[in-house]
Amino acid sequence: MPEAIALDNVGKTYGSVTALQNVTFRLEAGEWLALMGPSGSGKTTLVNLIGCLDQPTQGSVRIDGVEVSTFTRRQLTRFRAEKIGLIFQQFHLVPYLTAVENVMLAQHFHSLADEREARAALEQVGLGDRAEHLPAQLSGGEQQRVCIARALINDPRIILADEPTGNLDEANEAIVMDLLRAAHRAGRTIVMVTHDPDIAQLANRTLRLRHGRLEGSNTAELATLR
Ligand code: ADP
Ligand code: MG
């Protein structure tokens, strides 16, 4: 399988805070990775680097074979819009835009806004009848499904989900996980941060961070890097 994500000796510091160090791993296209670790261990920092929202202070980040650690902000934004769908724990919907407008917002960076496509994406997550509603008129689970529609609208090869069910009840957790499962079946590569071992089980691989380092990053893992 072709490589989707490859990190080589990645480090990230914020001033005197070391958020990540010596992070090396490779993910093949179509893999589903669960990223675990205690609070503050660097999970979100790692997702932000893979998601082209931030850049490492050390090492190499290759996404779909492209080195992004030396990209300019503008290059990162464009690359992200084409390759990556982001799902956050805190939804990050624009409060004064309707569901369909929130989904169309993601399209703007990619191609001309296409309202019909955005509505179809909402239908796919079971929210076809809620397109005109504002985020405040939707439950947490519904808001997260709008986020998933927004993440999938550009047909990204890679989906990053940072604790996607962290703020959801069990029923909505099941719906969101079904949508991620479908994305995986469709061949997408998924990186999912979770604290829940049952949810991590759905992935085909688990990596754990501790104090900014990958646990058990052994020579077998390193040997598959190149
Ligand atoms: P996790 O997602 O595993 O809880 P984070 O990646 O959010 O962990 O944070 C890892 C470490 O980096 C923490 O010590 C956190 O305080 C620090 N950190 C994260 N973002 C910043 C930032 N923008 N500025 C300073 N420190 C940060
Ligand atoms: Mg986090």
Q: Tell which residue, 65, 9, 37, has the closest CA to residue 206.
A: 37
Sequence-separated (6 or more) residues with CB below 8 Å from residue 174 = none
Contact criterion met (CB below 8 Å) for 134 and 178: no
Find out whether the beta carbon of 42 lies less than 6 Å from any atom of ligand 1: yes
Identity of the residue numbered 133: H
Output the six-digit token pair for 191.
Answer: 């990186």
Give the DSSP H/E element, type plus range, for residue 198. Answer: helix 197-200
Find out whether the beta carbon of 109 lies less than 6 Å from any atom of ligand 1: no
17, 23, 46, 191: which to mutate for ligand 1, most atoms within 8 A of CB? 17
Q: Tell me how far the alpha carbon of residue 142 lies from the centroid of ligand 1, in angstroms.
A: 28
Taking the CA of residue 18 as reference, the ligand 1 atom at the shortest distance is: 12
Q: Which residue CA neighbors atom 20 of ligand 1 most closely? A: 45
Taking the CA of residue 38 as reference, the ligand 1 atom at the shortest distance is: 3
Q: Tell me how far the alpha carbon of residue 114 lies from the centroid of ligand 2, in angstroms.
A: 33
Identify the band that residue 219 occupies on the pLDDT scale cut at 50, 70 and 90: very low
Q: What is the mean pLDDT of residues 30-51?
A: 97
- Is the pLDDT assigned to residue 59 strictly greater than 90? yes
Find out whether the beta carbon of 40 lies less than 6 Å from any atom of ligand 1: yes
| CA–CA separation, 48 and 69 (whole Å) | 12
Contact criterion met (CB below 8 Å) for 42 and 215: no
Contact criterion met (CB below 8 Å) for 193 and 119: no
- From the DSSP assignment, how many helices (H) and strands (E) are in the chain? 8, 10
**Which CATH code, of 3.30.465.10, 3.40.50.300, 3.40.50.11540, 3.40.228.10, is assigned to 5-223?**
3.40.50.300
Ligand nearest to the CA of 162: 2
Find out whether the beta carbon of 23 lies less than 6 Å from any atom of ligand 1: no
| CA–CA separation, 192 and 128 (whole Å) | 26
Q: Which residue CA neighbors atom 15 of ligand 1 most closely? A: 40
pLDDT value at position 225? 46
Contact criterion met (CB below 8 Å) for 31 and 205: yes
List pLDDT tens digits, range 127-165: 999 999 999 999 999 999 999 999 999 889 999 999 999
pLDDT value at position 90? 84
| CA–CA separation, 118 and 46 (whole Å) | 29
Say what the alpha-carbon torsion angle 89, 94, 100, 103 is, to the nearest 10 degrees: -60
Q: Which residue CA neighbors atom 21 of ligand 1 most closely? A: 14
Output the pTM of the full model. Answer: 0.90
